[in-house]
A and B are shown apart, each in its own frame.
Chain A
């Protein structure tokens, strides 16, 4: 399932709709420690976090995740949005908790596989 369809089905707000919106989502990872995400997130993943610092964009680019979901109603820093726009990294927002949104993404991916 493509990221744009997941975003639409779950009502995720696109703070930045980057090139990853069209990517086929291959899995997901939940973590707020960027060193951990760098080690474990894979290309095509949805990354769920409440970390809002601009380094999120750098890590998303390095790991080639399809997009970042910032959960729990947290709003990214201005620099994060600007940098994501510049680098074409998708940032999606939701008031759902990380647990909730990860569960729903997992359910959607399980349906299609």
Chain B
């Protein structure tokens, strides 16, 4: 689960998931200074919240304007409103995408560009079809975009590194079963192992 520039709801989602038997990885959809969105997934809450602290320090020192931009509600694990984030999260963090990749990876997390095909906030749309310096383990393609087109435009994307996700902003937008991860355990480390095609793991895009 990756909120925009924030992990405020991660603890509640992880706790609710534990109760319901669903594994939730705490994460963030980071907006870098290039206006590229990166999916950042962490192995635990502590790492996620540490990274959130780093991001908050580098966001513009501006308050959210709920009347114009919507409220940024923080929920508890039962889904009840428990607070509100006052910071403006709809902004770019003052960090380049290569540095963000290094930091998330150093914290034991997984970091890869979100919806690379989108003109707005997608790696290729914003920065062109060039191989990035950062060795991202995955590239997320939007649902609805032909994966073959992305492969043709960006032949440098390693085979097996493409994942398709729904970029769901609402529960009903979550699509089931486009990308299957065959893993030994549901952990981010195993996700990485699947992306790397280690024995017994794989990523299947349907």
Give the A interface residue count (CB, 8 A): 15
| B133 and A33 contacting across the interface, CB-CB below 8 Å | no
| A38 and B128 contacting across the interface, CB-CB below 8 Å | yes
Contacts between chains A and B (CB distance < 8 A), count: 35
Partner of A34, one of B97, B120, B128, B133: B128
Q: Is A77 an interface residue (CB 8 A)?
A: yes
Shortest CB-to-CB span from B178 to chain A, Å, is 24
Q: Which of A32, A33, A59, A77 has most chain B Cβ within 10 Å?
A: A33
Q: How far is the CA of A77 from the CA of B128 in the complex (A)?
A: 17
Partner of B119, one of A35, A52, A58: A35
| B130 and A58 contacting across the interface, CB-CB below 8 Å | yes
| B127 and A32 contacting across the interface, CB-CB below 8 Å | no
| B125 and A33 contacting across the interface, CB-CB below 8 Å | yes
Q: Is B96 an interface residue (CB 8 A)?
A: yes
User: Chain B, 122-142, contact with A by CB distance < 8 Å: what is the 0/1 string?
Assistant: 001111111001000000000
Q: Is B34 an interface residue (CB 8 A)?
A: yes
Q: How far is the CA of A34 from the CA of B127 in the complex (A)?
A: 5
21 sample A-B contacts, Cβ–Cβ < 8 Å, listed by A number: A32-B35, A33-B119, A33-B120, A34-B126, A34-B128, A35-B124, A36-B119, A38-B128, A51-B126, A52-B33, A53-B34, A53-B96, A53-B97, A53-B127, A54-B133, A55-B127, A55-B128, A58-B128, A59-B128, A77-B96, A79-B133
Chain B, range 51-81, C-beta contacts under 8 Å to A: none
